Structure 1
Amino acid sequence: MAQLLGQGQGRLPLPAWIAAALAVSALLIWLITGDAMLTLGYAVGLCALMAVGYAFSRMRPGSGEESFAQPDWSVTVAAIEQPDTAVAVTDRANRLVCANRLYGDWFGIAHAPPNLALDRLSLERLVRAAREAWRDGTASVDLLEREDGNGSWRAETERAGRGDDYLVWRFTALTLEDPVAHLAEWITGPFGALLSNAGIETAIVGTDGTIRAAGAGFATRATGDSAATLAGQEFVSQLRSDSRERIYFAREGQRGTPQMLIQVSLTDPDAARPARADEAPSLMLLVESGIGIGGGWEGVGQAAMPQLEALLGALPLGLAMTDRDGRFLFANEAFLRAAEIEREGLPSFPSDLVVREDKGALADAVRRFARGSAASADMAVRLRHQPDEPVSLGLAGVRGLGEAAVLLSLVDTTEEARLKRQVAQATKMQAVGQLAGGVAHDFNNVLTAIIGYCDLMLLRHTPGDSDYDDIQQIRANSNRAASLTRQLLAFSRQQTLRPEVLQLPDVVSEVSQLLKRLLGEKIVLKVHHDRDLGPVRADPQQLEQVIVNLAVNARDAMQARGDGTGKLTLATRRVTAGDVRKMGSDIIPVADYTVLVVQDTGGGIPAELMGKIFEPFFTTKEQGKGTGLGLSTVYGIVKQSGGFIFADNLADADGRPRGARFTIYLPVHGDAASHSASPAAEEPQATSEWSGGGRVLLVEDEDMVRAVAERALSRAGYSVTTAADGEEGLAAIAEGGEFDLVLSDVVMPGMDGPAMVRAIRKVRPNLPVLFMSGYAEEQLRSEIDLADMHFIAKPFSVQEIGDKVAQVLGAVHR
């Protein structure tokens, strides 16, 4: 029902006081003159003049009468009643004067434009339009949306009225276009008939496998009736396949022509969350095998090209067409995105998109599909913008489309290529880590022998002997080599850690003074900490090494820029599980983290080196100035602590590099009691008074390590029985040997240390075991899982192996 908000007013009758004034004036003339004829003439003339004026005013109302007149709004309401447009009239005070029925249904009559129930941005647009209309006469708004999202409109307004005192508002509803509905109209209309004449039958199939729309040709071949309604029927029920997996229409059987089925998922690439292929309807194309050139569409193909381009342009799959000479006729937006080119930059030939080595093969393939029988195939090519990542290019011969001869399909594999690179990098890092761990383990055996023999020689030489200094130098170099193997083990996540529950700012504070000395006077150190940081569980000494290594690399990068000045920033951040979820990372699990950010003002990391910086022995420094183990050690410590590390470059507003940033995510430690105690806590913290002596079974496959350990323990007063492998050690127990301790290597040929100990425990369940290995203690404990097990890391000195055996035996007899 139209809303009538104004009421018309009639003209006022001639006031009685005017008639009284005429009578009084005539009486005054008679009293003054005393002439009755003069008085009568005066009255008649004045009445005649008033009659003429009254008649004239009836014919052409004067301005004085207009001030009393009001418009008849019922006529206006009847004029603005429209079925698809909401119309409203407001005055200068933004009061609703009248509105039609649709306006009341959409917005109600409680509010007048621009004060409608819209979202904030739409209200601002509407207020701006009102100001423009009062100033310029007209204004428009392309998009208005309701606060609850249930409705969107376009608005136009213009100034109206004899005094320009009103605004007329017109609102039209906006509806979202359904691309699938447009496709359905195309394939069921003349365009679908053209495709059918060329031997291509079309249908749109929903996610449940039922037909939503089908071309007349499809209906004819499926049912024999071009007007048959197939909507809601199973698509697969209209087809059959033979033993050779050739597809036929079920009604025609093998009497008909084999069909090639092409499925195109109708996903929306611009949607906020593009649907997967199984969540969107599909366009099914059934192409007759063996269609020759001129298969019923020759001569009308050019007329159908605009419609074909519109169809291909609406599909999310990258598609392009070439003529018989291999020249591009058309490419949709998805194809251009996949090839990373602009529309105006589309080359003449497909071979111009690929690297030089693939040009000849692609040109021959396009020429073969353009002139041969209708067929389809895929070939691997390398695009110019990503020469290291082959992509799959589909080719299909097209017949009956005039100049169109080959259909090319290309999928945007940017995200897939990125994931492949990440997987390849992770695989490479894992393989290098295993190699580095194995090398370090074997090298530790050699270092154990060298350090052990140095210790034994030092027992026979005193300071002042000619050989004493040389032996000390050999031992010092061996310890330096041992530190390098520890860095390799850190990278491979196989070093021994002593984790504690700690606060990250405390570790930064401990190392800050050292950093100031390392950085020098020209580099400023800035430290920032967030509040409410969660505790982390890590080895504090190893975390200090992480910070020092990153700081030293940052210092070298800033000094390489010239004047050596710069700023190093250490910051700790609190990242909640909600923040991680918003990041949408495929690498970091959703949890609470305490983050350490190390940022410098150096020259940044070259993009081509970003994927190699964490590899061991990779360095950009001059020969002799870097081992290439700094960042690899950082990587291993962070990973072994359960964290994640990322590196990126920072740039200013002009795109110039302004430094590198390393971000380390360490998971927040929850209940300390829920985690296993650190290996250091499980070991006896103090030895009891052990007088020495005892029977030790020493099992070691490396002859030099076994010899050093035997001599060291023998000098300490132990009775040592040696075995070269696990079988010999088990045989020593089986032959009735009585031992107080088993000292064994972990990795040995044949029967390894843990397997031997499990067999010994069956007959000697309480026999203590001391394992020696170059691998991480945490890793061994998680893999071996034996009770009353102790550990000593290689390489060790003569003093360390003696003290460790005494500590274990003292704890057993305590």
Structure 2
Amino acid sequence: MPALPDPDSPDARITTLIILGGLVVSGGLIWLALGDWVPLALFAGGLVALASLILLVRHQFPPRSDVQRTMPDWSVTFAATDHPTIAIAITDEAGRMICANQRFIDQFGAEMVPPKLSLAGQGGDLLAEAGRAAWRDGEGRASGLVAAGVPIDAEVRRVGRGQDYLLWKFEPVARHDLAVEADAMLVGRPGRALGEGGFMAAAISPEGRIRAANSAFAARAAGAEAGNIVGRDLASFLRADERNRIYFEREGRKGVPLRLFHLPLVDPLHVTDPAEREKAPALVVLIDEDPAGMDKGTALGYVQTLLGLLPVGLAMTDRDGRFLFANDAFLRAAGITEAELPPYPGDLVVREDKGAIADAVRRHASGQAMAGDVALRLRNQPDEPVTLSLASLRGMGDAAVLLSVKDNSEESRLKRQVAQASKMQAIGQLAGGVAHDFNNVLTAIIGHCDLMLMRHSPGDSDYDDIQQIRSNSNRAASLTRHLLAFSRQQTLRPQVLQLPDIVSDTSELLKRLIGEKIVLEVQHDRNLGPVRADPGQLEQVIVNLAVNGRDAMLAKRPPGGTLTIRTRKVTAADVRAMNSDILPVDDYSAILVEDGGTGMPPDVQARIFEPFFTTKEVGKGTGLGLSTVYGIVKQSGGYIFVDSEPGQGTTFSIYFPVYRGGAVEQRSRKQTAKVNPGQWGHARLLLVEDEDMVRAVAERALTRQGFTVVTASDGEDGLERLGDSGPFDLVVSDVVMPNLDGPGMAVEMRKRMPGLPILFMSGYAEETLRQSISIDQVHFLPKPFSVAQIVDAVHGALAASAPPPNQAPANEGKLPT
């Protein structure tokens, strides 16, 4: 049927107007010719009937759009449907080929219409039915088709804007070749896994020839895992006895009977004929029938596999004492690798123990079953005796003796760490005690120097000598501070801070210290958490490590190198990955100081944090730098590690736990009260000190300031003075004293005078003392101190305990709390 014009087009509208004009003119002519309304009415009715018929026809056969009437560009469709394996074609309502991809042309030809394809069996009818279903329902399918020997599935869909085209898709059906897949598995990792489990497997052709085999089968059948057995007849490797039991031919009469499993490599859903399955390739699996057989890969192999999984060091020898097997734990305990395993156990021990272990193996290999232990020394670890346990084996073929040695490497490492920690703790206690006693001596020296300087003016003959003594005493006091830092007993003033800020503040000083031959590099990580530490002490840590790195790089030839300081964010996941036995799992902010110096051997690394240990020449180092670093880091709650290799440089890693508290109230020494010295000129002081020389200096210094001083030699004496000579405005006391120490004395005094202020003097850390002394309103003066410092401390303690203005004391003879 010819297509009607579109009523909305300009040509259609002009044609309509012409037709209407012609009809009007025709009606007028009829009226003029006949002069009667009846013919004119009949003419009009006929026109209405004709218009109704035209509208009905247009409704049944709608006009095609311009897009449908215009020939489409099928090259775009051809490019979009191109596929290497799927054939695609498009037909119109009349079954004419409109477009097809290259795969369809190659497989079916360019002139063939899909419903008329030459398909095996009933494929043509199935495909035609799929096309009719697509016209009717929009989609149709056909399965089980075969074209040129290739199984295919067809899918037909109704497409297009007017739904007047069919899209045909022909996809080949993929089928797996089980035989090929079995060959690949046997020569790959699955085949090795089967062999480790004791399964010997081979894939054979329908003629019985070997297509592929795993290494376990090759080892038993041909005597070598890499034996060339592909293409050979499977039956040539097997034999049967009079009882129809199967054996490997090469193993002879001593072989182990086998159990054989035959698995056809066909798809049971597609191949159901038993005769066809017999002709298909097959997988043959062999296992040992009798577990008492004792050749490689049999029950002995199972035992070896089990022993290899155990964490205990185990090995087996034959009756002649030769090694048959050793697991990884045994090799680690002996300090060797699998390639270094000698033929005999005697080759693992020192010469003196060779005879003992040979005799022990010989006794356990022959005669009745027995077990015993032998103490010996391994050749690679002659300084650490180990115990070797032996047990006789029966019913295990060539295996006659089971050897067991405990891997003590981890235990020895932990023992060394504990011993090192104990040694460092003991050295720290000793250093703290020495520093405390030395502080008393320095306090007396510095105090007497101050008293003598009060009687000499600059220019006197003795003034410079006294100043020199005082200066040297202050230098000695700095050494005691190093010792206290190592023993973690120095006074710290912790603050919440960021490590990059401390490193940046120290960088300019470091550039001057390390010199021009050393290059300083500073690298900062992002999002570091805050830490709580003493910024001044932390700067000392960085300076000490940088100076040590500088000296190590200047000792090289040629001298020089790069000193790198890094700050790092270390998360709890990073700590878990380190697998450290010392560093707890937590979030840390770390400082890493790396140098390219000469490095350190392990024996030096074990002692670098000990006080007075140094590798420098005499007169060029005190050995207190790294011990001070160690003490500051530990007292701040951090951890320090060293990693060094001779000739490869050294890296010090310091980890501080991330501080998660709120705003921290900084503990700092109170400023000296600005008071008139005469205000406390008549104050009564009780001075308690067990060291005569310190007590004498302090008494003279305070008496010169107008205080009334009563002295006591220990805590019990102080309590007696409080009862006999009290009351007192302030008690100045040492902390560590015989009989009754300072805190114990203070508790008893507070029972009698609750508001009595106390000033403690000590060479130990203020933080440590405050944690151990549960007494409020106490003040602290570190030793050694000068005359001016003790006077200022007394003034400050009295001012801090004074009552507010216009307030009288609460009780006569007692100071307010």
Q: Taking structure 1 as the reference length, what is the TM-score of the superposition? A: 0.61
Q: Does 1:314 align with 2:309?
A: no
Letter aligned with residue 680 of structure 1? S
Look up the SS of the partner of 1:337 in the other structure.
Answer: helix
Look up the SS of the partner of 1:765 in the other structure.
Answer: coil
Letter aligned with residue 406 of structure 1? V
Contact 2:373 2:389 in 1 (8 A): yes
Cα shift readout 1:550-575 (whole Å, capped 9, x = no counterpart): 11001001101123221111222222
Shift of 1:531: 2.9
1:795 aligned residue (762, 784, 791)? 784
Q: Does 1:592 align with 2:587?
A: yes
Shift of 1:771: 0.9
Cα shift readout 1:308-352 (whole Å, capped 9, x = no counterpart): 354034221321233556443432343223323233422243233
Letter aligned with residue 782 of structure 1? Q
2:653 aligned residue (655, 663, 683)? 663
Q: Does 1:526 align with 2:521?
A: yes
Distance 1:581 1:405, change over 3 A: closer
Distance 1:302 1:597, change over 3 A: closer
My pick for the range that moved more, 529-538 or 637-646, is: 529-538
Q: Does 1:499 align with 2:494?
A: yes
Contact 2:373 2:388 in 1 (8 A): yes
Distance 1:334 1:642, change over 3 A: closer
Contact 1:687 1:811 in 2 (8 A): no
2:701 aligned residue (705, 708, 712)? 712
Distance 1:526 1:377, change over 3 A: same
Match in the other structure for 2:172: 97
Contact 2:304 2:325 in 1 (8 A): no
Distance 1:138 1:743, change over 3 A: closer
Quote the Cα distance in structure 2 between the aligned partners of 1:476 and 1:772: 22
Q: Does 1:441 align with 2:429?
A: no
Look up the SS of the partner of 1:762 in the other structure.
Answer: helix
Quote the Cα distance in structure 2 between the aligned partners of 1:590 and 1:303: 49
Contact 2:672 2:792 in 1 (8 A): no
Letter aligned with residue 306 of structure 2? A
Distance 1:95 1:741, change over 3 A: farther
Look up the SS of the partner of 1:534 in the other structure.
Answer: coil
Q: Unpaired segments of 5 or more residues in structure 2?
A: 1-84, 88-110, 122-142, 154-168, 191-291, 804-817
Shift of 1:378: 4.2
Look up the SS of the partner of 2:378 in the other structure.
Answer: coil
Contact 2:456 2:462 in 1 (8 A): yes
Match in the other structure for 1:484: 479
Letter aligned with residue 730 of structure 1? L
Distance 1:342 1:598, change over 3 A: closer
Quote the Cα distance in structure 2 between the aligned partners of 1:813 and 1:615: 46
Quote the Cα distance in structure 1 between the aligned partners of 2:150 and 2:421: 69
Quote the Cα distance in structure 2 between the aligned partners of 1:793 and 1:605: 37
Match in the other structure for 1:384: 379
Shift of 1:668: 2.2
Quote the Cα distance in structure 1 between the aligned partners of 2:606 and 2:507: 29
Distance 1:497 1:352, change over 3 A: same
Quote the Cα distance in structure 2 between the aligned partners of 1:698 and 1:324: 85
My pick for the range that moved more, 797-806 or 422-431, is: 422-431
Cα shift readout 1:395-429 (whole Å, capped 9, x = no counterpart): 22445667654321123343333333322222222
Match in the other structure for 2:466: 471
Contact 1:6 1:98 in 2 (8 A): no
Letter aligned with residue 605 of structure 1? M
Look up the SS of the partner of 1:735 in the other structure.
Answer: helix
Look up the SS of the partner of 2:606 in the other structure.
Answer: coil
Shift of 1:101: 10
Quote the Cα distance in structure 1 between the aligned partners of 2:784 and 2:525: 41
Contact 1:679 1:777 in 2 (8 A): no
Match in the other structure for 1:429: 424
Shift of 1:76: 8.7
Quote the Cα distance in structure 2 between the aligned partners of 1:343 and 1:76: 59
Equivalences for residues 268-417 of structure 1 within 5 A: 307-315=299-307, 316=310, 317-323=312-318, 326-356=321-351, 358-359=353-354, 362-363=357-358, 365-366=360-361, 369-370=364-365, 374-398=369-393, 404-417=399-412
Question: Which protein is bigger by CA-based radius of gyration?
Answer: 2
Cα shift readout 1:232-274 (whole Å, capped 9, x = no counterpart): xxxxxxxxxxxxxxxxxxxxxxxxxxxxxxxxxxxxxxxxxxx
Letter aligned with residue 466 of structure 2? I
Look up the SS of the partner of 1:696 in the other structure.
Answer: strand
Quote the Cα distance in structure 2 between the aligned partners of 1:373 and 1:457: 92
Q: Unpaired segments of 5 or more residues in structure 1?
A: 8-63, 82-86, 89-93, 104-128, 131-136, 145-299, 651-655
What is the root-mean-square deviation in Å for CA atoms of aligned residues?
A: 4.1
Quote the Cα distance in structure 1 between the aligned partners of 2:612 and 2:457: 39
Quote the Cα distance in structure 2 between the aligned partners of 1:531 and 1:138: 50
Look up the SS of the partner of 2:556 in the other structure.
Answer: coil
Match in the other structure for 1:618: 613
1:640 aligned residue (635, 654, 658)? 635
Alignment size in residue pairs: 554
Quote the Cα distance in structure 2 between the aligned partners of 1:678 and 1:789: 17
Shift of 1:481: 1.2
Shift of 1:443: 1.4
Quote the Cα distance in structure 1 between the aligned partners of 2:709 and 2:533: 38
Report sequence identity in percent.
61
Cα shift readout 1:48-105 (whole Å, capped 9, x = no counterpart): xxxxxxxxxxxxxxxx99x97556795999x999xxxxx99xxxxx9962246999xx
Match in the other structure for 1:725: 714
Quote the Cα distance in structure 1 between the aligned partners of 2:769 and 2:185: 77
Quote the Cα distance in structure 2 between the aligned partners of 1:483 and 1:361: 59
Quote the Cα distance in structure 1 between the aligned partners of 2:189 and 2:118: 38
1:567 aligned residue (554, 562, 578)? 562
Cα shift readout 1:345-376 (whole Å, capped 9, x = no counterpart): 22243233234565565455545555676443
Contact 1:80 1:100 in 2 (8 A): no
Cα shift readout 1:458-501 (whole Å, capped 9, x = no counterpart): 22222222222222222222111111111111111110011122
Quote the Cα distance in structure 1 between the aligned partners of 2:177 and 2:675: 95
Quote the Cα distance in structure 2 between the aligned partners of 1:553 and 1:311: 56
My pick for the range that moved more, 626-635 or 311-320, is: 311-320
Cα shift readout 1:138-157 (whole Å, capped 9, x = no counterpart): 9999589xxxxxxxxxxxxx
Shift of 1:381: 4.2
Contact 2:391 2:403 in 1 (8 A): yes
Look up the SS of the partner of 1:330 in the other structure.
Answer: strand
Quote the Cα distance in structure 2 between the aligned partners of 1:734 and 1:635: 46
Match in the other structure for 2:745: 756
Quote the Cα distance in structure 2 between the aligned partners of 1:564 and 1:540: 32
Look up the SS of the partner of 1:680 in the other structure.
Answer: coil
Equivalences for residues 51-450 of structure 1 within 5 A: 74=144, 97-99=172-174, 307-315=299-307, 316=310, 317-323=312-318, 326-356=321-351, 358-359=353-354, 362-363=357-358, 365-366=360-361, 369-370=364-365, 374-398=369-393, 404-450=399-445
My pick for the range that moved more, 495-504 or 412-421, is: 412-421
Quote the Cα distance in structure 2 between the aligned partners of 1:763 and 1:583: 57
Quote the Cα distance in structure 1 between the aligned partners of 2:338 and 2:506: 56
Distance 1:80 1:69, change over 3 A: closer
Quote the Cα distance in structure 2 between the aligned partners of 1:361 and 1:761: 73
Q: Does 1:542 align with 2:507?
A: no
Look up the SS of the partner of 2:451 in the other structure.
Answer: helix
Contact 1:679 1:778 in 2 (8 A): no
Match in the other structure for 1:679: 667
2:690 aligned residue (701, 726, 732)? 701
